[in-house]
Amino acid sequence: MGHRVARAAVHRLAGLGAVTGEVRVTNDKRKGSKGPRVPGFQGELRVPNAGIRIENLSKVFQGRDGGSVIALDGIDLAIEPGSFTCLVGPTGCGKTTLLRIVAGLLASSSGIVMVGEEPVAGPRQDTGMVFQQYSLFPWRNVLDNVAFGLEMRGTGKRERHARAKELLGMVGLARFARSRPYELSGGMQQRVAIARSLATDPDLLLMDEPFGALDERTRHRLQDELLSVWERTGKTVLFVTHNIDEAVYLGQRVVAMADRPSRIADDFPVDIRRPRDRVAPEFVEALLRVRTVLEEVMKESSKQIETTKGG
């Protein structure tokens, strides 16, 4: 494996986009520059434009026994740039598969997936992903895990460590900068992964149940941190969760997926002022809507399993 390929593989594992991807540039006309030119502007000009367009997306996995699993079947979904969307659905309905395809980590079987103006053809530098399972590099300490994406970009040690420390502070792990991942609890490792996904300041954040392993208090704190990052930066966030309260607290929009066949079962805006009050009537109303849809979906799904068994 060539050096470049090896680095790309490591990078992909971190969910941080391709090493050799186009670098979003500065005030010049190099290929890849997305933003307008601003006279006298020297630094990187960020104009997030990471909307997602998914059309008729399908994914079929081939099993070892020759059988196949239809993980996604003709999904259509459009996500506005700068929006915060929560994706819910029963286990196995294809949420992770969808995220991995949008991240460019997994090829689709058919359909269109665009991020910004471009079809997704592989990992993008401007996408940050937090995986459902912790995916830290065991041989790196916490600080260097968080700083990884910046290191790949060629950011100097002092600068990347300063940024990594700031993010570790944000997730409440400043004291653990020199620890190894195995010395941390599962929830702490997940917080490191969240910090890592933010380090390169990606336009698009794909988060797969990032707060699933956390206690309620920590989860609430990190939800608020994430919201403030989102409000400050205009990132596009696609956030998978099994927690209905979390979906309604965070999302501007909640998309509920169903399985067998996988499809969008419900999709609605959550027009509740922030900061949201978890006991306000409109909050509870939105919760009930999501719960009802999911209960329906589960009922359908178990009926189908019964039919398959019986027939």
Q: Are 82 and 236 in contact (CB under 8 A)?
A: yes
Q: Are 241 and 95 in contact (CB under 8 A)?
A: no
Q: What is the closest distance, in whole angstroms, from the C-beta atom of residue 189 to ligand ATP in the complex?
A: 18
Q: What is the closest distance, in whole angstroms, from the C-beta atom of residue 257 to Mg ion in the complex?
A: 11
Q: What is the closest distance, in whole angstroms, from the C-beta atom of residue 261 to ligand ATP in the complex?
A: 12
List, edge to edge, every strand of the sheet that includes 68-79: 68-79, 52-62, 110-115, 118-119
Task: Work out what residue 97 binds among Mg ion, ligand ATP, none; the CB cut-off runs from 5 to 8 Å by kind.
Answer: ligand ATP
Interface stretch with Mg ion, choices 96-104, 107-115, 162-170, 259-267 (CB under 5 A): 96-104
Task: In whole angstroms, give the CA distance from residue 282 to residue 250.
Answer: 14
Per DSSP, the residues of 63-101 read PTTS-EEEEEEEEEEEE-TT-EEEEE--TTSSHHHHHHH
Block residue for tokens 């336009």? 203
Q: What is the closest distance, in whole angstroms, from the C-beta atom of residue 198 to ligand ATP in the complex?
A: 22
Q: Select from 96, 145, 223, 262 the one that contacts Mg ion (CB under 5 A).
A: 96
Assign residue 62 a region: left if phi > 0, alpha if psi is -120 to 50, beta otherwise? beta
Task: Work out what residue 94 binds among ligand ATP, Mg ion, none; the CB cut-off runs from 5 to 8 Å by kind.
Answer: ligand ATP
Binding mask of the shown chain, residues 103 to 142, with x at each position contacting Mg ion by CB under 5 A: -----------------------------x----------
Kindly tell me which of 38 and 60 has the beta carbon lying closer to ligand ATP: 60
Q: What is the closest distance, in whole angstroms, from the C-beta atom of residue 126 to ligand ATP in the complex?
A: 23
Residues 6+ apart with CB under 8 A from 235: 48, 50, 82, 202, 203, 204, 205, 229
Binding site for ligand ATP (CB under 6 A): 61, 69, 71, 89, 91-97, 132
Binding site for Mg ion (CB under 5 A): 95-96, 132
